[in-house]
Amino acid sequence: MKSIELAAFLGGLVLCSAAAASTELAQAKQCMQCHKVKEAFAGPSFHEIAQARKGQRDAMTKMVVTIRRGSNATGGPHWGAATMPDMKERPEVSQAEARTLAKWILKQ
């Protein structure tokens, strides 16, 4: 295998591993109970969230706060009447975990 092909292959493995790890984190933090990647469910899909936040300079900051503290922490419901619960109703999400999840969601 040529070195350029090997580098591309290894890069692809890293991306797949990161995506799988992010999916596992979203499942562990109960995100997937209300969200799906491509289709709306109880909450908007991660794809819809990414599209709505596209081009917003403060997207990462707001998403991290919302992921950690619920939708009321950043001004209330963002999609209809449904709200994202605060940390009393779901597992705690660290700052680093919230950043990982936000980065992954914004790539959808």
Average pLDDT of the residues in 79-88 = 82
CB proximity list for 28: less than 8 A, separation 6 or greater: 91
Which pLDDT does position 15 carry in this prediction? 42
Number of domains the chain contains: 1
**Cα 4 from Cα 22, distance rounded (Å):** 27
> pLDDT tens digits for 42-82?
999 999 999 999 999 999 999 999 999 988 888 877 787 77
> pLDDT tens digits for 10-19?
344 344 456 6
**What's the chain's average pLDDT?**
84
**Cα 96 from Cα 57, distance rounded (Å):** 19
Give bridge partners of residue 79 from the DSSP assignment: 82
**Cα 65 from Cα 49, distance rounded (Å):** 14
Q: What is the CATH number of the domain that holds 10?
A: 1.10.760.10
Which pLDDT does position 13 carry in this prediction? 37
- Which residues span the domain enclosing 57? 3-106
